[in-house]
Amino acid sequence: MQGTAQQPTPPAAYTPTDRTVPTRSPERASYDRELVHSILDEGYVCHLGFVRDGRPVVLPTLYGRVGERLYVHGSTGSRPLRMTGGADPGLPVCLTVTHIDALVLARSAFHHSINYRSVVVHGIAHDVTDPEEKRAALDALVDHVVPGRAADSRPPNKKELAATAVIRLDLNEISAKLRTGGVNDEPEDLALPHWAGLVPLRKGYEAPVPDTDLTPGTRLPEYLAVP
Amino acid sequence: MQGTAQQPTPPAAYTPTDRTVPTRSPERASYDRELVHSILDEGYVCHLGFVRDGRPVVLPTLYGRVGERLYVHGSTGSRPLRMTGGADPGLPVCLTVTHIDALVLARSAFHHSINYRSVVVHGIAHDVTDPEEKRAALDALVDHVVPGRAADSRPPNKKELAATAVIRLDLNEISAKLRTGGVNDEPEDLALPHWAGLVPLRKGYEAPVPDTDLTPGTRLPEYLAVP
Predicted ipTM?
Answer: 0.92
- What's the number of domains chain B is made of? 1
R_g (Cα) of chain A, nearest Å = 21
**Residue B89 falls within a domain, yes or no?**
yes
In the prediction, which pLDDT does B2 show? 47
Is B148 at the interface with chain A, CB within 8 A? no
Closest CA to B171 of B28, B41, B73, B27: B41
Contacts of A47 in chain B (CB under 8 A): 47, 49, 58, 60, 96, 98
- pLDDT > 80? residue B118: yes
Residue bearing the bigger pLDDT, A83 or B167:
B167
Q: What is the pLDDT of residues B182-210, one digit of tens each?
A: 999 999 999 999 999 999 999 999 999 99
Is B178 at the interface with chain A, CB within 8 A? no
The CATH number of the domain holding residue A139 is 2.30.110.10
3-state class (DSSP) for residue A215: coil
Contacts of B206 in chain A (CB under 8 A): 199-202
In the prediction, which pLDDT does A60 show? 96
Choose the mutation target among A142, A195, A203, A205 for the interface with B, i.e. most B CBs under 10 Å: A195
Q: Do B109 and A138 touch (CB under 8 A)?
A: yes
Average pLDDT over residues B61-81: 86
**CA angle, A97 then A149 then B111, to 5°:** 80
In the prediction, which pLDDT does B82 show? 66
DSSP secondary structure string for all residues of A139-155: HHHHHHHSTT-GGGSBP
Between CA B184 and CA B198 the distance in angstroms is: 11
**Residue A5 falls within a domain, yes or no?**
no
Q: Which of residues 73-112 of A touch B (CB under 8 A)?
A: 74-75, 77-79, 92-96, 98, 100, 103, 105-110, 112
**Residue B227 falls within a domain, yes or no?**
no
Q: Show the domain range for A143.
A: 26-183+192-200
**Residue B109 falls within a domain, yes or no?**
yes
Share of chain B above pLDDT 70, in %: 91
In the prediction, which pLDDT does A10 show? 82
Between CA B134 and CA A226 the distance in angstroms is: 45
**Residue A37 falls within a domain, yes or no?**
yes
- pLDDT > 80? residue B44: yes
In the prediction, which pLDDT does B85 show? 56
Closest CA to A104 of B224, B30, B93, B57: B224
Q: Do B205 and A206 touch (CB under 8 A)?
A: no
Q: Do A142 and B112 touch (CB under 8 A)?
A: yes
In the prediction, which pLDDT does B60 show? 96
**Residue A108 falls within a domain, yes or no?**
yes
B164 confidence band (pLDDT: 50, 70, 90): very high
**Residue B194 falls within a domain, yes or no?**
no
Element (H, E) at B168: strand B164-170
In the prediction, which pLDDT does B75 show? 72
- pLDDT > 80? residue B80: no
Residue A70 has, within 13 A of its CA and on its CB side, a CA count of 33
> A142-147: long-range contacts at Cβ-Cβ below 8 A with a sequence spacing of 24 or more?
A142/A64, A142/B109, A142/B112, A143/A1, A143/A64, A144/A1, A144/A41, A144/A44, A144/A62, A144/A63, A144/A64, A144/A65, A145/A44, A145/A62, A145/B103, A145/B105, A145/B112, A145/B114, A146/A223, A146/A224, A146/B103, A146/B105, A146/B199, A147/A223
In the prediction, which pLDDT does A1 show? 43
Q: What is the pLDDT of residues B128-138, one digit of tens each?
A: 999 999 999 99
Is A11 at the interface with chain B, CB within 8 A? no
Dihedral sign for Cα atoms in the order B136, B139, B144, B150: negative
**CA angle, A179 then B120 then B177, to 5°:** 110
Q: What is the DSSP letter of A192?
A: S
Closest CA to A109 of A196, A40, A188: A196
Across the interface, of B55, B160, B196, the residue whose CB is closest to A92 is B55
Between CA A87 and CA A126 the distance in angstroms is: 11
**Residue A86 falls within a domain, yes or no?**
yes
**Please, what are the averages of pLDDT over each run of 10 residues along chain A (227 residues)?**
60 94 86 98 96 95 97 77 66 97 98 97 95 96 95 96 94 97 97 97 95 94 84
Is A158 at the interface with chain B, CB within 8 A? no
Is A217 at the interface with chain B, CB within 8 A? no
3-state class (DSSP) for residue A185: coil
- pLDDT > 80? residue B79: no
How big is the A-B interface in CB pairs under 8 Å? Answer: 295
Average pLDDT over residues B68-72: 97
Between CA B184 and CA B100 the distance in angstroms is: 18
Q: Do A51 and B48 touch (CB under 8 A)?
A: no
Is A148 at the interface with chain B, CB within 8 A? no
Q: Do A98 and B204 touch (CB under 8 A)?
A: no
